[in-house]
Amino acid sequence: MTRRFLVVLLLVTAALFPAALFSAGAAYAADSKATVLARWTQTSAAGYNEWNAARNNRAPWASYNFDWSTDYCSSSPDNPLGFTFDLSCWHHDFGYRNYKAIGTFSANKSRLDDMFYADLKRVCATYSSVSQAACNSLAWTYYQAVKIFGSVAAVKQSDLDRAAALLPAA
């Protein structure tokens, strides 16, 4: 009797397991835009990887109407000294544009900038130890620039005055 019970339990579990997977997938697909956006804009490699997979296969995410546009690193070089910062900049643009679209940019800007820096450091980690110091220095510089100047709405007059003071006299 115990053996028969285990066989029946095993068959029932095997029959229900795909249904459980389907339900989980359906719930995942029904996540709000803000929830998906939050997952994709974490500082972790997993957040970056999930965003990048979606970037490469946007069709399943079409109903969310994400803004995938980018100007990469804006007016800064996309790949300074040959370091590949372009996808990190795209990820950052994605966060900025989409949080602005849902009206929660100010609450998320700091995390988006931290995400950008984490992405850049992961890029730098792929280079040889000889090149990493230069890459990390550039990553820090890019991070500081977006922290201070990353959004016109976030820039204060004192920031503009400080930047103007750094320019050489004409």
* Catalytic, out of 47, 88, 91, 92: 92
The pLDDT score that the predictor gives to residue 27 is 39
Neighbours of 1 (CB within 10 A): 5
Dig out the tokens for 6 from the structure: 């285990």
Q: What is the mean pLDDT of residues 94-119?
A: 97
Query: Please, which pLDDT band fits residue 165 given cuts at 50, 70 and 90?
Result: confident
In degrees to the nearest 10, what's the CA dihedral of 58, 61, 65, 70? -30
75 by DSSP, 3-state: which? Answer: coil
Q: Which residue has the higher pLDDT, 84 or 157?
A: 84
Q: What is the pLDDT of residues 18-58, one digit of tens each?
A: 443 333 334 355 799 999 999 999 999 999 999 999 999 99
| Class of CATH domain 32-165 | mainly alpha
Q: Average pLDDT over the chain, rounded to whole? A: 84
Nearest Cα to Cα of residue 116 among 160, 166, 73: 73
Residue 91 a catalytic site member: no
User: Taking the alpha carbons of 111, 115, 116, 121 in that order, is the dihedral positive or negative?
Assistant: positive
How many angstroms separate the CA atoms of 154 and 152, rounded?
A: 5
Question: Residue 159: is its pLDDT beyond 90?
Answer: no
Q: Residue ranges per domain, the chain?
A: 1-30, 32-165
Nearest Cα to Cα of residue 110 among 136, 156, 146: 146
Least-confidence region, from 15-29, 46-60, 78-92, 146-160: 15-29
